[in-house]
Amino acid sequence: MTEFRIPPLVVDYGQLWLAADIHGDDADWPQRSAAELLARPHWAAYRTKKGEKQLVEILRQATGVARKRGESASMGFILYPSPEEAPKGIVVFSPVDIVGRGTEEAWADLLAQLAPEIPGGYPPDITVMATKAGECRRLRLRYAAGEGPERPVGEHIWYLWVFADYGAGMIMSISFNSILESARWLPALDELATDVWLQRHPGQEEPGRGPGRPGRSGHGEEAGALTGGRAHRAAGDGGR
């Protein structure tokens, strides 16, 4: 029987995103991440001592939220598109044990777990997507916050993968308090999910990446400031 292993996923991310320290393993993360943001062209006006200090404090607060969301996650990313706006949300990748279930059964179980049928509730919106890591299913589910007839409507968004060879599923998730914000950033989320791929053995070509494309770095290396970066979670990390 296949044993549960965390799939060795790699995430290529662009200038809208910042890899988060969701487990508190890196005390210097706010300072290093502030430097990464300030190296991006549209952050140039904030390259002052005051601007850097303010940014470091914002990132300290953001990573605190990320750690709360990432207790069972293997990776996280902060949506921070512009210095003129606050961070928009946090995406986390969470592995799920699907050992003993077939692929279709695993899909059905994941969808039922995230969006159970609730009488009178908002219907889920499920879209099948192709990504570099294989088939993905995007699940969108609206929710009403608070009480009363004028309750604001937000949206949960999940991207689901099933990796039968690893006995694992992977869930990429984020929530917005406003459906307008959700619609605004959906293309960026789709792009991030599309650029998720499984790490190959040395000598194997990365899926969807031909020669001549600028390289991007992973953990333990210097991330490319102009193109974003790369983050990965190797199998066997136990979710950490």
Residue 4 within any structural domain of the chain: no
Q: Is residue 206 part of a domain?
A: no
pLDDT band at 240 (very low <50, low <70, confident <90, very high): very low
The pLDDT of residue 236 is 37
CA distances (Å), origin 167, targets 42, 94, 112, 158? 42, 14, 18, 19
Q: Would you state the pLDDT for residue 66? A: 78
The number of domains in the chain is: 1
Asked if 129 and 68 count as a contact pair (C-beta separation under 8 A), the reply is: no
Full DSSP string of 101-154:
--HHHHHHHHHHHHS---TTSPPPEEEEEEETTEEEEEEEEEEE-SSSTT--EE
In a domain, 93, yes or no: yes
Q: What is the pLDDT of residue 70?
A: 63
Q: In this predicted structure, what is the pLDDT of residue 238?
A: 41
Is residue 208, in this structure, part of any structural domain at all? no
Q: Confirm whether 173 is domain-assigned.
A: yes
**What is the average per-residue pLDDT within 17-24?**
86
Question: Which of 7-16, 62-71, 128-137, 225-234 is least confident?
Answer: 225-234
CATH number for 163:
3.40.1000
- CA neighbor of 188 nearest in space, from 228, 232, 219: 228
Give the structural domain span for 129: 9-200+217-233
Residue 114: inside a domain? yes
Dig out the tokens for 133 from the structure: 């890591």
Asked if residue 210 is part of any domain, the answer here is no
Q: What is the per-residue pLDDT across 171-204, written as a single tens digit (0 to 9) for each?
A: 999 999 999 999 999 999 999 999 999 986 444 4
Q: What is the 3-state secondary structure (H, E, C) of 189-203?
A: HHHHHHCEEECCCCC
Beta bridge partners of 17: 79
Give the CA radius of gyration of the chain.
18
Q: How confident is the model at residue 145 (pLDDT cuts 50, 70, 90)?
A: confident
Closest among 35, 31, 13 to 21, alpha carbons compared: 31
Number of helices (H) and strands (E) in the chain: give both, helices first.
4, 10
Q: What is the per-residue pLDDT across 97-117, written as a single tens digit (0 to 9) for each?
A: 999 998 999 999 999 999 887
Q: CA 157, 184, 18: angle at the middle one, nearest 5? A: 70
Q: How far apart are CA 199 and CA 205, in angstroms?
A: 10
pLDDT beyond 70 at 231: no
- Report the predicted TM-score, pTM, of the whole model to 2 decimal places: 0.82
**Which residues make beta-bridge pairs with 88?**
none
If we measure between CA atoms, which residue out of 70, 7, 80 comes closest to residue 46? 80
Residue 2 in domain: no
Hey, what are 33's tokens? 């991440």
Nearest one of 165, 183, 9 to 99, comparing CA atoms: 165
What whole-number distance in Å separates Cα of residue 131 and Cα of residue 137?
A: 10
Q: Round to whole Å and give the CA distance between 14 and 188.
A: 9
